């Protein structure tokens, strides 16, 4: 028994004592395989899950490393059942594998005949299979490669995919040699993807995920389809590729609501790809428009269901997912694992911050009270209306005004969910607003003005959550969000994490209505950031002073 910071319990929960001197080292050691569940002040709760252990296994960690991490940091003896379960769960990964056979095409093979018999009896799997060759191998219909991996994961027997990839149509792509240097972690992430064939890279916002994508494209040297969240993001990707690679403007096409260009490198939006006419996703044919050698999914945690379905048919193409968080609010992390690929590289936010590549950030929750009239309206409202009422309470506008004045002269974003609330705040603050109905041209003009320092204050809706490059933003004030979305919290903080030219600390404020579902959702949203080592200071609205900080 040691005096470590970790209590390992037989229900597969791990309790981490935050104030222990070894807590940072312990968090780093367990992060590859344990999922954070709760993060109050002093003890954080993690859980061991099969998917977490399989992701670790796919990334090259074995059961011995996981067991050693648990034993090294444990305060009390680790239950023997946990050690056995870790070993047996991780051993399930790879007992089944997909291989390419010169005569039979795609094969499912097994190292364990009993497991093989078990999965072959599944009614969901039988239609995907062809001729059985022997006791441990069966032919798989090539079109079912992705679907089979999805089903096997749900059965608890994730298959390791060794069937390889088609090269696709070759296209010369090199990284530009002048004007910049790739960071070590970016190079490691790209190489991990390339050697793994397909998979996901998890890096904080502002850490240069686009560069990882560009580096992978330079390794593939093939036609590439890049899927992004918006037209603005598509144009930022194009600008970054022109800056970081040898690609020319004529080689990069935009496929969005406004433009339909198919070129050797084509950047398409999720929105246009999932547009339906008469029940048909007409633009999904873009997946077959060229012999793509690589498909890149930006913000892979947002991947829409139709793209998942199409990705199941793309298993012979190399696939790269880029994200700041693998958390999906719809619980489809398993589909990302089986269809895009396992997590190949993950850099903790605080590690990147320590290297000076993202700005340090201070997170503050400001709590406000409802008026008596608002409390009565809230008390009598239907459940589905309570969050909107709490989010739009009058006290929030007062606090936002104080915070904006407090940080006058600093590039500031006011972020929210509800358009009427944002319109009112924009009018009150005399600031421009970016929302869904704002044209792409106007969005780009406002973002450019913000980057240039001509606009110091911008009010933005959730359209600015993802893939928007506003490097000088140093203050964000969040007034409402997508309920308890942890991924959104990560993305919004990420708007501030580009290093500042003067090295100053970014500040992320969340204004929350006390004694409402707003406060409940705020706690849920903060879980992801707590896992990354950020903590929230809680202030009462009355303590938010107007005088600028020294």
Q: How many CB atoms lie within 10 A of CB 333?
A: 19
Q: Which residues contact 311 (CB under 8 A, 6 or more apart)?
A: 146, 295, 303, 319, 339, 340
Mean pLDDT along residues 358-365: 84
Between CA 368 and CA 424 the distance in angstroms is 18
Q: pTM higher than 0.85, yes or no?
A: no
Q: Span 112-132, mean pLDDT?
A: 92
Alpha carbons 77 and 64: distance in angstroms, whole number? 17
pLDDT of 485 reads 62
Where does the pLDDT of residue 469 fall: very low under 50, low under 70, confident under 90, or very high at 90 and above?
low
Q: Is the pLDDT of residue 507 over 70?
A: yes
- For 539, the token pair is 């202030």
Q: Is 120 helix (H, G, I), strand (E, B) or coil?
A: helix
Q: What is the mean pLDDT of the chain?
A: 88
Residue 253 confidence (pLDDT): 96
Q: Give me the mean pLDDT over the 159-172 stretch.
A: 93
Half-sphere exposure (Cβ direction) of 508: Cα atoms closer than 13 Å: 19
Task: Give the span between the Cα atoms of 269 and 50, in whole angstroms.
Answer: 32
- Cα 163 from Cα 198, distance rounded (Å): 12
**Could you identify the residue written with the tokens 């330079």?**
218
Can you spell out the DSSP letters for 405-450?
A: HHTTTS-EEEE-S-HHHHHHHHHHHT--EE-TTS-HHHHHHHHHHH
Q: Per-residue pLDDT for 95 more than 80? A: yes
Alpha carbon separation from 167 to 180, 222, 223 (Å, rounded): 29, 7, 9
pLDDT, residue 444, reads 87
pLDDT (tens digit, 9 = 90+) per residue, 189-211? 999 999 988 999 988 878 889 99
Whole-number pLDDT of residue 158: 94
Instruction: Report the C-alpha gap between 35 and 50 in whole angstroms.
Output: 10
pLDDT tens, residue by residue, 421-465: 999 999 999 999 998 888 888 988 998 898 888 999 999 987 766
The more confidently predicted of residues 119 and 504 is 119
Confidence of residue 159 (pLDDT cuts 50, 70, 90): very high
In the chain the first and final C-alpha atoms are separated, in Å, by 48
Range of lowest pLDDT (86-90, 402-406, 467-471): 467-471
- Checking if the pLDDT of 114 tops 90, the result is yes
Most trustworthy range by pLDDT among 36-40, 237-241, 498-502: 237-241
Residue recorded with tokens 């981490």 = 16
Q: Contact at 8 Å (CB) between 229 and 461?
A: no
Taking 70 as the threshold, does the pLDDT of residue 90 lie above it?
Answer: yes
**Is pLDDT above 90 for 110?**
yes
Instruction: Give me the half-sphere count of Cα atoms (radius 13 Å) on the Cβ side of residue 232.
Output: 22
How far is residue 385's CA from residue 370's CA, in Å, rounded to a whole number?
A: 15
Average pLDDT over residues 499-527: 82
Sign, Cα dihedral of 287, 290, 295, 296 = negative
**pLDDT number for residue 219:** 97
Look at residue 550 and tell me whether its pLDDT is greater than 50: no
Q: Among residues 272, 258, 265, which one has the least CA distance to residue 444?
A: 258
In Å, what is the CA distance from 93 to each residue of 51, 135, 162, 214? 10, 19, 13, 30
28-37 pLDDT, tens digit each: 899 889 987 7
Chain segment 235-245, per-residue pLDDT in tens: 989 999 999 99
pLDDT in tens, 307-360: 887 888 888 899 999 988 777 767 788 888 889 999 898 877 778 888 888 888
Strand pairing of 343-346 and 13-17? Answer: unpaired
Task: Report pLDDT digits (tens) over 250-275.
Answer: 999 999 988 899 999 999 998 888 88
pLDDT at 401 over 50: yes
Decide if pLDDT at 184 tops 70: yes
């Amino acid at each position: 028994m040691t005096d470590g910071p970790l209590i390992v319990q037989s229900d597969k929960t791990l309790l981490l004592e935050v104030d222990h001197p070894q807590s940072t080292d312990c968090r780093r050691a367990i992060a590859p395989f344990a999922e954070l569940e709760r993060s109050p002040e002093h003890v954080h709760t993690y859980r061991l899950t099969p998917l977490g252990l399989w992701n670790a296994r796919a990334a090259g960690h074995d059961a011995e490393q996981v067991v050693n991490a648990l034993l090294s940091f444990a305060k009390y003896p680790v239950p023997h059942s946990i050690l056995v379960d870790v070993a047996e769960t991780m051993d399930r990964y790879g007992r089944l594998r997909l291989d390419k056979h010169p005569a039979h095409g795609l094969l499912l093979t097994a190292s364990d005949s009993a497991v093989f018999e078990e999965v072959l009896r599944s009614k969901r799997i039988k239609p995907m299979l062809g001729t059985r060759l022997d006791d441990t191998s069966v032919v798989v219909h090539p079109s079912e490669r992705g679907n089979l991996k999805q089903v096997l994961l749900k059965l608890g027997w994730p298959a390791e995919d060794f069937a390889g990839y088609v090269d696709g149509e070759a296209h010369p792509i090199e990284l530009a040699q002048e004007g910049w240097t790739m960071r070590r972690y970016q190079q490691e992430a790209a190489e991990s993807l390339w050697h793994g064939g397909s998979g996901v890279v998890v890096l904080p916002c502002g850490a240069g995920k686009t560069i990882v994508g560009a580096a992978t494209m330079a390794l593939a040297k093939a036609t590439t389809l890049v899927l992004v969240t918006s037209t603005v993001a598509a144009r930022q990707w194009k600008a970054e590729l022109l800056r970081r690679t040898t690609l020319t403007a004529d080689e990069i096409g935009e496929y969005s609501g406004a433009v339909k260009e198919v070129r050797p490198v084509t950047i398409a939006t999720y929105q246009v790809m999932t547009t339906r006419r008469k029940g048909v996703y007409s633009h999904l044919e873009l997946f077959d428009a060229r012999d793509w050698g690589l498909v890149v999914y930006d913000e892979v945690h947002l991947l829409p269901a139709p793209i998942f379905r199409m990705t199941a048919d793309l298993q012979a193409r190399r696939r790269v997912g880029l994200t700041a968080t693998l958390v999906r609010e719809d619980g489809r992390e398993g589909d990302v694992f089986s269809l895009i690929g396992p997590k190949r590289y993950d850099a903790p936010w605080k590690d990147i911050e320590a290297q000076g590549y993202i700005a340090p950030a201070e997170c503050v929750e400001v709590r406000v009270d409802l008026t008596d009239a608002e409390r009565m309206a809230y008390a009598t409202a239907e459940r589905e209306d309570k969050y909107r009422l709490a989010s739009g309470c009058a006290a929030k506008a007062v606090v936002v005004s104080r915070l904006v004045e407090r940080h006058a002269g600093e590039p500031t974003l006011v972020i929210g969910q509800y358009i009427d609330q944002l319109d009112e705040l924009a009018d009150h603050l005399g600031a421009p607003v970016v929302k869904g109905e704002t044209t792409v041209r106007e969005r780009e003009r406002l973002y450019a003005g913000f980057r240039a320092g001509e606009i110091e204050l911008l009010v933005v809706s959730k359209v600015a959550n993802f893939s928007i490059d506003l490097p000088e933003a140093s203050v964000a004030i969040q007034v409402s969000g997508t309920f308890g979305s942890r991924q959104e919290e990560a993305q919004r903080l990420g708007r501030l994490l580009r290093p500042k030219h003067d090295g100053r600390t970014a500040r992320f404020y969340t204004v929350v209505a006390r004694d409402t579902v707003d406060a409940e959702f705020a706690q849920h949203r903060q879980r992801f950031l707590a896992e990354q080592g950020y903590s929230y200071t809680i202030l009462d609205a009355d303590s938010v002073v107007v005088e600028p900080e020294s």
